Each structure stands twice: as C-alpha cells, then as structure tokens.
Amino acid sequence: MRIRDMQDEILRLKKENDVCILAHSYQAREIVEIADFSGDSYQLSVMAQKAPQKTVLMCGVRFMAETVKILSEDKRVFLVNPLAGCPMAEQMEPEMIEYFKKKNPGYTVVAYINTTAELKTVCDVCVTSSTAVKIVKNIPNDKILFIPDCNLGDFVQKQVPKKEIRLLQGGCPIHAAISVRDVEEARRRYPEALLLVHPECVPAVVERADYVGSTSGIMEFAKKSDKREFIIGTESSIAEHLQYTCPDKRFYPLSKKLICPNMKATTLVDVLNVLNGRGGEEIILSAETLAKARKCIDEMIRLGG
C-alpha cells in the first residue's frame, strides 16, 4: 500500500468512527499529516480536553496518552504503539519523592509532564517545557523540588533566581547527549545559522544558543524570524517539519544523535491497525490515580494558562 493510500484510509476510518488523532511534533511527517492536531506537550493536553470525539489516539509516547486519559476520563484513549515510552518519565518512583518530602518539608513538588501518571500522584503541579518558567514564577512558594529533568530545572532556576529550586539527577538521554563540541562543529559548518535548542539540553549547550524553547517555541521562532538558516537542537523531526513549512529557509539538525527511537516507533500501519481494532493499548488508570494525577495537571493549566 502506498503511503498516500494508507493516509486516505486512515482519514476515512477516523471520520467514520469519530476518532480524534493527536500527534506530538516529534512524530514523523506522514503521521503529523493525518492528525487532527499536532503540537507540543502543553498544547496536546489542552487539545485533549477540547476534542469532541469520544475516542482519542495518541501518536507519541506513553505519558502523553496517560495525560489525555487523566484529562478526559470518559474518553477511550489509545497509545498507538504500546512500546513507545519515554525513558525520562520512568526515571523516578513515587517512594523517592515521598522520602524527599518527609525529609524536606515545605517544598512544592513540580513534575515535568514527562512523568508517569503514578509519579504525578505524589507531586503538586506539572509543567511542560513551554510553561515551566511561568508556572514556577506563579507558584506561591519559594521552595521548589523540580523533577525529573535537572537540565530543564537548571534552565528554570536561571530564569527564576529568587526561588530555591532543588534538583535530582534525571533527564532526557537524547537531548543530554548533545555536547559543546557538537555545538562548535555545527557553528563552524553553518556560520550564518541561528542555534535554537530545547531546554532538555545540558546547561553548557543551552548557554550557547540564540533561542531556547519548547518544540512549538522553536518552530514559531524559526517561522517568524527574518533569518534564513537555523541549527535545530531538538529531535530531528522538528528540523524536517520546519523544512516543509518554510521551504525558502534552511534547517540543520544540531547532531545526528538527536533521534528519539520512542518517538519514531509509531508508524502509519500502527495507526491503521488501531482504527481497525487490532492494536495499540487502551490506557486504563485506577480512579485513585486519575483523581490524584489530575490535580497536578489541572494546577498546571490554572497556573500556566
């Protein structure tokens, strides 16, 4: 079957069965094309609530599908490829955070949305990369424990220096693998280009960037800029989408290492199979997990909206 025919079949089945397809911006081009909406983690959680359909397919990783379920309990939510997890989301366990809270009372626990639903149940508020600075500023407490990404946490600390932000050792293995040497090499190769990076990169890389932001922040910056060349310091799909959206500009991935195998795991065949009732995984969470994790996400939308 040709890609185009498969996409048409997906669009037909989606309409016939009143299904909403959400895709994170790291998804491949052909997936983004059949989605009702694609965007960054924050935008996806807002769209999850707005979607009128009773069934939602998430083309992304597990924590994203869980977030949709937490926000829309009455909907059937499917993770299109059940093997697509985010290693960062699974780095910390609730017991670790409970222990920290017991030993360090008085901290507000801020969880990056890249965490399991179970971990969210012991946290106070979620953030995404596009809302973290604003939300941490708006929290009425100066003592913050920020988990799990210490690079994003360091970035937030620099923007909000008055607050005390405690960090634990966690983060995205894909972004954290980018080194200063990668930056220097890309700068040498593309001397005219601006460097746009995701705050999951290590502080030494972030400090060398011309712009730091979420996946949608990076895309918006590049689209609006009057510059013509950009080095993209986040997952390789972003450079690819930008190249299609702005064919008169040039986009260079900062490194070949910027490929997230989990984000690349979902294929059109997976989507078609789920629509035909033959695959994916329906997200089922206990009533207790849903209620406790929801408080954290509602708080994110309240403080970040």
Helix axes 62-71, 287-304, angle to 10 degrees: 90
Residues 95 to 124 in contact with ligand 13P, rule: CB under 6 A: 114
The closest of 149, 148, 142 to 164, measured between CA atoms, is: 142
* C-alpha span between 162 and 284 (Å, rounded): 40
CB of 206 to ligand SF4, least distance (A): 15
Q: Residue 132 interacts with ligand 13P (CB under 6 A)?
A: no
Q: Residue 86 interacts with ligand SF4 (CB under 6 A)?
A: yes
Q: Which is nearer to ligand SF4, 153 or 275 (CB)?
A: 153
Q: Which is nearer to ligand SF4, 14 or 24 (CB)?
A: 24
E strand residue ranges, the chain: 19-24, 37-39, 55-59, 76-79, 108-112, 125-127, 143-147, 164-167, 194-197, 211-212, 229-233, 250-253, 281-282
Binding site partner of 262, from ligand 13P, ligand SF4, none, Cβ cut-off 5-8 A by kind = ligand SF4
Residues 184 to 213 in contact with ligand 13P, rule: CB under 6 A: 198, 200
Q: Which is nearer to ligand SF4, 173 or 305 (CB)?
A: 173
Which stretch, 71-79, 86-94, 119-127, 135-143, contacts ligand SF4 (CB under 6 A)?
86-94
Q: Residue 215 interacts with ligand 13P (CB under 6 A)?
A: yes
* C-alpha span between 156 and 149 (Å, rounded): 11
* C-alpha span between 167 and 153 (Å, rounded): 7
Contact residues toward ligand 13P (CB under 6 A) are 40-41, 114, 128-129, 172, 198, 200, 214-215
